[in-house]
Structure 1
Amino acid sequence: MPSSLPTRFAVLVYGLLSYAVFFVTFLYAVGFIGNFGVPKTIDGAPVVPLADALLVNGLLLTLFAVQHSVMARPFFKRALARILPVAAERSTYVLASSLALIALFRFWQPMGGGVWSVEQPAARLLLQVGYGAGWLIVLGTTFLIHHFDLFGLRQVWLFFRGRDYTGLKFVTPGPYRLVRHPLYVGWLVTFWSTPQMTLAHLFFAVMTTAYILVAIQFEERDLADAHPEYHDYRRRTPMLVPRLRRDEAN
């Protein structure tokens, strides 16, 4: 039985609001990790003992990792579909991820201490350019694999128009021919490109890098189940680091 117009409109508004929350959170994250333009950033004067800061920050990162991974699994999507319209599933994931990040921004504890400080102007500039490039890679990659589907807008729009959702075909545009996960490459560049590495930033970078390496394993298993051609793609394409020389057969 087709959903009523008020239901379809409500789902559309929900998807748009979820995307708006994501967009604001994304912009805040740029300043939070980069230490500029926002009220609270990853660094600052410590206000609690180091052990307490490690515990709080570890719990915040764990919360995000668990939410991000569990909600992405097929079993959770099936369970959510029993409560919400299927078209709202992706928007719910996006909203929950944004809320987990907002909690991280709000309760993050600076740790003080310095790990490295790059003072040479050219090197500092290179790292700052790398930071910006990392964010551009992250954002640009989402558009290569259909930004609006990834963040739930395509699903709620089709639902509003009363049209069935059709999954996207498996494609490997641009940087996906060089590595399997250019989106994660962008995140790694972002997390590690800083001229001023503090204990808090290092902890954040190490933990998020570890999470990415673990998350890739679950993600690739789901991709292989959904797309039989992914097995061959995984065999011939590096995960994160491009090959210096491509095989003649490719």
Structure 2
Amino acid sequence: MSVITTFVLYFFAFAFIHSLLATDYIKNIAKTKLKGKFRFYRIIYNILSFLIAAPAFFVWLTSKSLTPLVYNVPGWLSPLLLILRPFAVGLFAYAALQKDLLEFAGLRQGKSESKLITDGVYRIVRHPLYLAGIILIFTKPEMTLLDLTAAALVSIYFITGAYIEERRLVSTFGDRYRKYQQEVSMFIPVKWVIKRILAGFSFFREHS
């Protein structure tokens, strides 16, 4: 079995189990069975996610150099990577800080109700964490075939996860989230840029 095939199988196993455990159906079963201990579901979910992702990550980490080199970013593009990668890290950190990280990690359960975050970086795109991740994985200076396979699968999983998450958010917040969808782009900040341009034109007209 090739390294690529092994990685893909491990990744699909992770994606299936990770997604299954996140469904309302499984959560409701767990809530019925665990009762008061359901407050630990999030931390158990995160630990299991780490464990089932480990085989795919190990294959990628130890075998990426064994697959053919697909591309090597030319030197003249290096300054662009030096901008994009720190930008992605900053974007991820800023977006993560707007979340309740302790609750997300399962270290603080049931302390606060789910809330809709639309300020900060979430005014620019609806899924800044996924966007930051996609930028990071595709701005790797050297990309082997295994790197590219991993980047493509992770990106598809992020995008699919975002659409599934949006359905849940619409179900939870209703028209509030639908309005947010109309005003803010999902990944590429087209609507935000257009608003800034129109605001600039308006300012120029008022002061000319």
- Alignment equivalent of 1:203, drawn from 145, 149, 156: 149
2:41 counterpart residue number? 89
Contact 2:43 2:105 in 1 (8 A): yes
Conservation of the 8 A alpha-carbon contact between 1:178 and 1:238: yes
Question: After superposition, what is the alpha-carbon deviation per residue over 1:170-216, rounded to whole angstroms, capped at 9, x for unaligned?
Answer: 12121111111001001101110111111111111111111122222
Aligned counterpart in structure 1 of residue 100 of structure 2, from 146, 163, 168: 146
Question: 5+ unaligned residues in a row in structure 1: which ranges?
Answer: 1-50, 156-163
1:56-71 → structure 2 map (5 Å cutoff): 56-71=6-21
In terms of fraction of residues, the more helix-rich structure is 2
Distance 1:200 1:137, change over 3 A: same
Task: Give the Å deviation of 1:129.
Answer: 4.8
Q: Answer yes or no: is 1:232 the counterpart of 2:184.
A: no
* Contact 1:128–1:195, Cα closer than 8 Å, also in 2: no
Give, in whole Å, the separation in 1 of the partners of 2:90 and 2:18. 21
Partners of 2:22 and 2:82 in 1: how far apart? 32
- Alignment RMSD (CA, Å): 2.2
Q: Which amino acid aligns with 1:83?
A: K
Is it true that 1:214 corresponds to 2:160 in the alignment? yes
1:117-165 CA-to-partner distances (Å, cap 9, x unmatched) read 1241x6325425533442343333222122112111121xxxxxxxx64
Matches within 5 A, 1:117-156: 117-120=72-75, 123-155=77-109
Corresponding position: 1:172 with 2:124: no
CA distance in 2, matches of 1:128, 1:64: 32
Does residue 80 of the first structure (1) align with residue 80 of the second (2)? no
- The separation in 2 between residues aligned to 1:128 and 1:82, in whole angstroms, is 50
What is the CA–CA distance in structure 1 between the aligned matches of 2:27 and 2:93, rounded to whole Å?
25
> How far apart, in 2, do the equivalents of 1:152 and 1:125 lie?
39
User: Is the contact between residue 134 and residue 189 of structure 1 (CA under 8 Å) also seen in structure 2?
Assistant: yes
Match of 1:184 in 2: 130
Closer, same or farther in 2 for the Cα pair 1:210/1:176, shift >3 Å? same
- TM-score (norm: length of structure 1): 0.69
Q: How does 1:38-57 map to 2 (within 5 A)?
A: 52-57=2-7
Q: Distance in 1 between matches of 2:18 and 2:95?
A: 19
Per-residue CA deviations over 1:38-73 (Å, capped at 9, x if unaligned) read xxxxxxxxxxxxx62121111121122223322222
Aligned residues: 190
> Whole-Å Cα distance in 1 between the matches of residues 86 and 17 of structure 2?
27
Q: Give the distance between the partners of 1:129 and 1:103, measured in 2 at CA.
A: 32
Question: Percent identity among equivalent residues?
Answer: 26
Residue 195 of structure 2 aligns to a residue whose secondary structure is coil
* Residue equivalent to 1:116: 71
State the 4+ residue runs in structure 1 displaced beyond 6 angstroms.
none
